[in-house]
Amino acid sequence: MHEVIPQRGGMSRRAVLAAGLTAGAVAALGPAVPAAASGTTARWFAAPVTSVRPRFRWWWPDGLVDPDEIAREIDQIADAGFGGVEIAAVHHSIKDKSALDTAHHGWGSGPWRQGVESALRRAAGRGLTVDITLGPSWPVAVPGLTPDDEAAAKELVHGRAALTGGSTYQGPVPPPVHAPAAGVTRQQLLAVQAARVEPAHSTRKETGLDPASLVDLTATVTDSTLTWTAPEGGDWVLISYWVRGSGQQPESGPHSAPAAYAVDHFSPAGTGAVTAYWQDHLLTPSLRRLLRAAGGSFFEDSVELETDGLNWTPRLPEAFEKHTGRPLLPYLPALVLDNSNQVFAYEAQLTRQIRHDFWETVSGLFNRNHLKALRDWAHTLGMTLRSQPYGLQTDAIASAALLDIPEGESLGFKNLDDYRCLAGGRDMAGRTVLSCEAGAYNGSAYSTTWDRFLRTMGGAYAAGVNQTVVHGFSYATAPGVNWPGFAAFSPYNGTAGYGESWGPRQPTWRHVEDIAGYLGRVHQVLQTGTARADVAVFRQTGYTATGIGASWFTATGVPLGWTHQFLSGPLLDLPSATVSGGRLAPHGPSYKALFVEGDFFHGSTPTLSVDDARKILALAEAGLPVVLFGAFDQALTPGVPDQGGTDRLRELLARLLALPHVRRVTDKASIGDALAGLGVHADVRHATASTLLNAHRVTADTDFYYLCNGKHAETVKPPVAAIDHDVTLRRTRGRGTVPYLLDPWTGEATRLARYTEDGDDITLRVTLQPGQTAVVALGRPGLFGDRHGDSPHAETTDADAVLFTERGLTVRARTAGTWTTRLSRGRTVTARTPAVPAPITPARWELDVEDWYPGPDATRTERVRRSLTLDTLKPWSQIPELTDSAGIGRYRTTVALPADWTALHGAELDLGQVSDTFRVSVNGRRLPAADRLHPVIDLGPCLRPGDNTIEIEVATPLINRLRVEQPAVFGGVARQDHGLVGPVRLVPYAQTTVR
């Protein structure tokens, strides 16, 4: 059977326009607001508000979009349970850019604005919010700007000439070692210097120089020529420094006519060019109104400023001298870059200090003139600023504290500590959301599974992420594209590209509402209340996206239950940086201790600035426990010290180390003992090292613990194993609270029936498969509507499980027997379960398949129906009729249960291996969504004596079909195993109430 299914559908443009903007929609769609802690109920968890639901990065081929289609795609995203979109102009897959007609349909053109307005208008009607990138692609750029303009991105490039002592150089000033980029017509000589080569300071790549020999020759330059005689002795080098536009354009352009060029990210002029372009060219009165109705954030991607030299801004020398009290020019030789490589060096310590001071100055300019200025401007339009504040050697931790919404990414981040850097800035600033660009996998277009996506995000949530921007959803079509439609990054350099193009073009879209519900419930919990972390790790260099973690905590502390975040110096100036009851930021993350170690970015040298040492001393004097790891009695300043600066630093540290609640350790293995000696303990504890990760949030009456069986870095091998061990959770809201298990797949909140209590601690058993997550809430009895009140719970049992049901405390077992349970009030009781049928493995399956093929055009799919009988479950790739198939399969089998099957019986359905998404129905009743990473479903009351029909609907990625339909692009991807592979087992149980 054949049928052709269009990917499009939804309301017409006329209907969208007629809907208009209701007052309710306008009122409801301001910037996202986290769920109020006081609203914690069963409904609150089961149906998370739209503002916390996952979002899509939505790729457009610039302005070559149809408002009708834009409205339809908003409907598709809303119907699937997502909370918003980010409009991004990305079309790396299209080689012939002329087909996009940038002159009439470029970024910022009339058609682009019409598309944006259509998106906002439809989003307002559907309760979604719309984010918009600040410019076409990345980095931020402005159409019509030229590389020579004041506001354009700048670079400092160098020239060089070698001399021997006593020789004379006469001629033009050495030109730059790299020619300017296309479009750059001017360059300005900043300075000319000479220095003696010092081989003792040289490295494999850097030419060592003697700083005492440096001579400034700038004033001797006449008509661009120079005459200079080197002093006798040694070798010398002449160095010229030129400032010019970098000529960088946004990725995969052109996107506009006239072309856009990247702006100076460190000057008011560069940021002013961005905001002026929006004000003068884009923000029509109607767009302003729509932004206030359905606008979310302006967005800026990671800061990928590309240059053959050194990123620069004209006021940098002035800013450096203001920040350090020293002129910049004598330090330039240690700073210039050639294709990202250092060129010259002074003595190693001085070189490190110079580079620290330089990038600290640049960081201040970036944060002040770019991020803060854009954020304040966004607020005037009722918008927020979301940004990935990394890519340069700047303090991303401090940047995260400035932003409304800092964002990381699963592709560029090396491990979980990269997220913890941004989380520290967010939480110290009292903000709520840490976003993640999620699911961009190299070479994985149309082969990405939601299984992989969930494993990626599991650990990220434990590290502080609580908003997901899925990478991504592509606009339906563009000129010259093939089935299944336009994809921003596929093909990419002729092969399968980054990430995925989700949407109705994907078979798994049929089940994506289950994924959206899961992610939304996780976000709901993790955006509620206040984040807590055990320890603040002080970082002298606030980079992120580096993979560099904390010496003991990352490797040893986290496997024992510890949580940590990173702070940098500027965060200690925030209003939250106070101490009460021995806690730093007591109304925020409430760190129990501050940990200080050597700077990993500079050979683990124990460094602290005098200002930071003074702040840490004040915190310690206020009662904060502090642990220093390394030779901090001999610490150095990270930057070039002022006169007497090193002595002042060491005097402050001597005072710090003399305090009774400060410890200095030199052995990494002693860090845990030092914390214990200070009375500092983790909120989550387990007896042995485990792959269990956790995040803790606190409301006025509830502790929420997010648990994940994950790993520090997704690329680490081997994969994690299943865990099954006791875990102790600290109740910060006092005794009298009880534990609930919140299932983010079904939305159910279940009172846990087995645990022990010891003061403020609750110990329970945690069993998780690799990548699987769980959410535990510690709150008052009845919080989620349970009716068990102050009923006793089980502390131990020899049954398979004990749970609260409508009948009360109940034991469950897979065999007949008598089971002993010790209750919380000291009483021991027994209960007996009847005989239980043996596990059943279905012998035969009927499989009906919708096999997806290219339709008559790029946006339509032909679905061929196939029916098979299977005696053995196999992946489709091993079934001859389905070897290269992709689509949706419906598996049906019949299971016979005995006539004495009663209400005391039930069964779990274990699907074994299944890929990718699935849904289960029993006897015509569709069951709630099931855990994708642990596909075991409690069928409970759905079963009956006699025959029972079980149906499992499975959806696959498209890759196996695309391998044969487009072999030039996808043929290099291995055929994948999808479908229901099993083994599938029905495992009966019996249960009885404890009395």
The pLDDT value recorded for residue 790 is 80
HSE-CB for 506 with a 13 A CA cutoff: 27
Residue whose entry in the numeric block shows the structure tokens 């030229």 = 146
Residue whose entry in the numeric block shows the structure tokens 């983010």 = 744
Q: Is the pLDDT of residue 30 over 70?
A: no
Residue 97 near residue 62 (C-beta atoms within 8 A): no
- Of all residues in the chain, what percent carry a pLDDT higher than 90? 91
- What are the backbone angles phi and psi of residue 722, rounded to the nearest 5°? -65, 150
- The angle formed by the CA atoms of residues 183, 184 and 186, to the nearest 5 degrees, is 145
- Of all residues in the chain, what percent carry a pLDDT higher than 70? 96
Q: Is the pLDDT of residue 18 over 70?
A: no
The pLDDT value recorded for residue 209 is 98
Q: Which of the 8 DSSP states describes residue 372?
A: I
Q: Is the pLDDT of residue 979 over 60?
A: yes
Reading the block at residue 889, the tokens are 């399969």
Residue whose entry in the numeric block shows the structure tokens 């609203």 = 39
Residue 373 near residue 151 (C-beta atoms within 8 A): no
pLDDT category at 903 given cuts 50, 70, 90 is: confident
Gap between the Cα atoms of 651 and 630, Å rounded: 17
pLDDT digits (tens, 9 = 90+) for 424-479: 999 999 999 999 999 999 999 999 999 999 999 999 999 999 999 999 999 999 99
Reading the block at residue 22, the tokens are 């209701």
* Of 892, 900, 957, residue with least CA distance to 922: 892
Residue whose entry in the numeric block shows the structure tokens 């607020």 = 379
Residue 946: CB atoms within 10 A of its CB come to 12
pLDDT category at 32 given cuts 50, 70, 90 is: very low
Of residues 820 and 719, more confidence is placed in 820
The pLDDT value recorded for residue 418 is 97
Residues whose CB is less than 8 angstroms from the CB of residue 718 and which lie 6 or more positions away in sequence, other chains included: none
Q: Is the pLDDT of residue 27 over 50?
A: no
Collapsed DSSP state (helix, strand, coil) of residue 740:
strand
- Burial environment of residue 31 by CB neighbours within 10 A (0 to 12, 13 to 18, 19 or more): middle
Of residues 11 and 700, more confidence is placed in 700
pLDDT digits (tens, 9 = 90+) for 800-857: 999 999 889 999 999 999 999 999 989 999 999 999 999 999 999 999 999 999 999 9
pLDDT digits (tens, 9 = 90+) for 82-120: 999 999 999 999 999 999 999 999 999 999 999 999 999
pLDDT category at 24 given cuts 50, 70, 90 is: very low
The pLDDT value recorded for residue 11 is 32
Residue 643: CB atoms within 10 A of its CB come to 7
Gap between the Cα atoms of 479 and 390, Å rounded: 34
Gap between the Cα atoms of 922 and 787, Å rounded: 28
Residue 253 near residue 137 (C-beta atoms within 8 A): yes
The pLDDT value recorded for residue 974 is 94
Q: Is the pLDDT of residue 258 over 80?
A: yes
Q: Is the pLDDT of residue 23 over 50?
A: no
pLDDT digits (tens, 9 = 90+) for 198-227: 999 999 999 999 999 999 999 999 999 999
Mean pLDDT confidence for 606-624: 97
Q: Is the pLDDT of residue 765 over 90?
A: yes
Q: Is the pLDDT of residue 298 over 70?
A: yes
Residue 284: CB atoms within 10 A of its CB come to 11
Gap between the Cα atoms of 524 and 49, Å rounded: 8
Q: Is the pLDDT of residue 2 over 50?
A: no
Mean pLDDT in the chain?
A: 94
Gap between the Cα atoms of 652 and 611, Å rounded: 10
Q: Is 247 left (phi over 0), alpha (psi -120 to 50) or beta?
A: left
- Per the document, the length of the chain is 995
Q: Which amino acid is at 389?
A: P
Mean pLDDT confidence for 787-808: 92
pLDDT category at 21 given cuts 50, 70, 90 is: very low
Mean pLDDT confidence for 953-977: 97
Residues whose CB is less than 8 angstroms from the CB of residue 897 and which lie 6 or more positions away in sequence, other chains included: 837, 905, 943, 944, 945, 946, 948, 988
pTM, two decimal places = 0.95
Collapsed DSSP state (helix, strand, coil) of residue 379:
helix
Mean pLDDT confidence for 13-39: 33
pLDDT category at 611 given cuts 50, 70, 90 is: very high
The pLDDT value recorded for residue 602 is 85
The pLDDT value recorded for residue 39 is 63
Of residues 7 and 761, more confidence is placed in 761
The pLDDT value recorded for residue 119 is 98
Gap between the Cα atoms of 875 and 861, Å rounded: 23
The pLDDT value recorded for residue 28 is 29
Gap between the Cα atoms of 887 and 854, Å rounded: 12
Residue whose entry in the numeric block shows the structure tokens 């159910």 = 748
Q: Is the pLDDT of residue 798 over 90?
A: yes
Which three-class secondary structure string do you get for 799-862? CCEEEEECCEEEEEECCCEEEEEEECCCCEEEEEECCCCCCECCCCEEEEEEEEEECCCCCEEE
Collapsed DSSP state (helix, strand, coil) of residue 339:
coil
The pLDDT value recorded for residue 1 is 47
Q: Is the pLDDT of residue 19 over 50?
A: no
